Amino acid sequence: MNSGQSIRPHDWQRLADRIKATGLAVTPSVPLAELTTFRIGGPAGLLCPVENAESARRFLDIASTEGLPWTCLGGGSNILADDAGYDGLVLLVRARNLDVAGDTVRIGAGWDFDTLVAETLRLGLTGLEFASGIPGTVGGALVGNAGCYGREIGEFLVDATVLRTDGSVDRLGPEDFEFAYRTTALKERGDVVLDLVLKLDRGDLDAAGRERQEHLDDRRRKHPWDIPCAGSYFKNLPPAAPGEWRRAAGRLLEESGAKTMREGNAEVFEKHANIIVNRGGATSGDVLILADRMREAVRRRFGEELEEEVRHLATPRANRDPAVD
């Protein structure tokens, strides 16, 4: 994410016309509720999809020239967009190339992650079935080092094409990502993945297919498939001892009574205490208050501090128009 001077809402159409003249497609005032799985959020100033490094560079040049904040959205999961919207530029990476060479695949960052799992299995490649059902794009998954069942996407990375916040484009290897639990150095810096190469396997397809189905069934039992949410709200806690699995935040939340909690139209999902769902018309304020109550319940019961996995997307305070604060 970058930042600069605030631009007033009536300038968005002027800026949209200027950007369109450079060959980029932009749309002003798109509700973020339409772009996030939580179905919450006010309008983005301008929405700009890009499909390659050159168009992404042009996007950043415009953001820099205009002194505007910008951010990148993948599939819209793990995001709580603010009710006030985002007074800046929103980049959507839409690259969907897919090239296979032996057991490696080069993938555009705009691929839906779960769709990619199914496609690689169809092509005879195994390894990603652990990620079955994970929402969002593969680019967003890599930046956040998405994972489950003890596996993470970072384990498979060969290299990636990355747009840095200074506008340069570099090819980075796994060591440059500094993979950690649900984060990377790129996530901290705000760099954007444009495409990536993963090394997979030519393993037992029948076993991989069964594993995929088991994970999908497990998610359907525990996760809301037809109710808006952002996924797990808090990160799991570090293991109690070296070599053990991380401690599930959902278990601590359940034992702290979180499943009975509701704030406005946001409530804790009855089947999973680490998921907040939007029952219809929930606001970002509802969610933030509910999350604070959940965190405080765990703090009181266990003395543990929960850390958000869901990112709150709001205009940086330095860029907000004082007239509307």
Same domain? 162 vs 262: no
Same domain? 248 vs 288: yes
Q: Is residue 321 pLDDT above 80, yes or no?
A: no
Q: What is the pLDDT of residue 310?
A: 96
Name the catalytic one among 232, 256, 263, 267.
Answer: 232
- Give residue 112's pLDDT band: very low, low, confident or very high (50, 70, 90): very high
Q: Per the domain annotation, does 213 fall within a domain?
A: no
- Give residue 322's pLDDT band: very low, low, confident or very high (50, 70, 90): very low
Q: Per the domain annotation, does 176 fall within a domain?
A: yes
| Mean pLDDT over each residue of the chain, to the nearest integer | 92
Q: What is the pLDDT of residue 10?
A: 52
Structure tokens at 214: 């088991």
Q: Per the domain annotation, does 25 fall within a domain?
A: yes
Is the separation of the CB atoms in 96 and 138 below 8 Å? Answer: no
Q: Tell which wins on pLDDT, 6 or 283.
A: 283
What average pLDDT does this structure show over 149-170?
A: 94
How large is the angle between the packed helices 12-20 and 53-66, nearest 10 degrees? 140
Question: What is the domain-level CATH number for residue 187?
Answer: 3.30.465.10
Same domain? 82 vs 147: no
% of residues, the chain, pLDDT over 70: 94
Same domain? 20 vs 77: yes
Separation of alpha carbons 27 and 43, rounded Å: 11
Q: What is the pLDDT of residue 212?
A: 98
Q: Per the domain annotation, does 220 fall within a domain?
A: no
Q: What is the pLDDT of residue 204?
A: 97
Name the catalytic one among 129, 263, 267, 309.
Answer: 309
Separation of alpha carbons 113 and 231, rounded Å: 14
Q: Per the domain annotation, does 75 fall within a domain?
A: yes
Separation of alpha carbons 34 and 223, rounded Å: 21
For the question of whether the overall pTM of this predicted structure is more than 0.85, the answer is: yes
Question: Which domain range does residue 241 map to?
Answer: 234-308
Same domain? 167 vs 145: yes
- Give residue 82's pLDDT band: very low, low, confident or very high (50, 70, 90): very high
How far, CA to CA in Å, does 267 sit from each of 231, 293, 305?
Answer: 13, 11, 20
What average pLDDT does this structure show over 283-292?
A: 98
Name the catalytic one among 77, 132, 182, 263.
Answer: 182
Question: What is the domain-level CATH number for residue 19?
Answer: 3.30.43.10
How far, CA to CA in Å, does 246 sit from each of 3, 142, 144, 258?
Answer: 35, 20, 17, 20
Same domain? 102 vs 202: yes
Is the separation of the CB atoms in 236 and 247 below 8 Å? Answer: yes
What is the number of domains present in the chain?
A: 3
Is the separation of the CB atoms in 150 and 248 below 8 Å? Answer: no
Q: What is the pLDDT of residue 273?
A: 97
Contacts of 217 (CB under 8 A, 6+ apart): none
- Give residue 160's pLDDT band: very low, low, confident or very high (50, 70, 90): very high
Same domain? 88 vs 108: no
Is the separation of the CB atoms in 167 and 141 below 8 Å? Answer: no
233-287 pLDDT per residue, tens = 999 999 988 888 899 999 999 999 999 999 999 999 999 999 999 999 999 999 9
Range among 10-19, 62-71, 73-82 with highest mean pLDDT value: 73-82
8-65 pLDDT per residue, tens = 545 888 889 888 888 899 999 999 999 999 999 999 999 999 999 999 999 999 889 8
What average pLDDT does this structure show over 71-81?
A: 94
Q: What is the pLDDT of residue 11?
A: 80
Cα first-last separation, the chain: 21
Q: Within 13 Å of residue 35, how many CA atoms lie on the same side as its CB?
A: 26
**Domain limit, last residue, from 34, 63, 94:** 94
Separation of alpha carbons 137 and 166, rounded Å: 23
Same domain? 49 vs 102: no
Separation of alpha carbons 183 and 94, rounded Å: 22
Question: What is the domain-level CATH number for residue 242?
Answer: 3.90.78.10
Residue 214 annotated as catalytic: no
- What is the three-state SS of 165-220? CCCCEEEECHHHHCCECCECHHHHHCCEEEEEEEECECCCHHHHHHHHHHHHHHHH
Q: Per the domain annotation, does 151 fall within a domain?
A: yes
Is the separation of the CB atoms in 311 and 284 below 8 Å? Answer: no
Same domain? 112 vs 192: yes
128-143 pLDDT per residue, tens = 999 999 999 999 999 9
Q: Per the domain annotation, does 227 fall within a domain?
A: no
Same domain? 194 vs 146: yes
Q: What is the pLDDT of residue 316?
A: 86
Q: Per the domain annotation, does 46 fall within a domain?
A: yes
% of residues, the chain, pLDDT over 90: 81
Is the separation of the CB atoms in 136 and 148 below 8 Å? Answer: no
Same domain? 256 vs 166: no
Q: What is the pLDDT of residue 319?
A: 62
Same domain? 77 vs 145: no
Residue 29 annotated as catalytic: no
Q: What is the pLDDT of residue 225?
A: 85
Residue 182 annotated as catalytic: yes
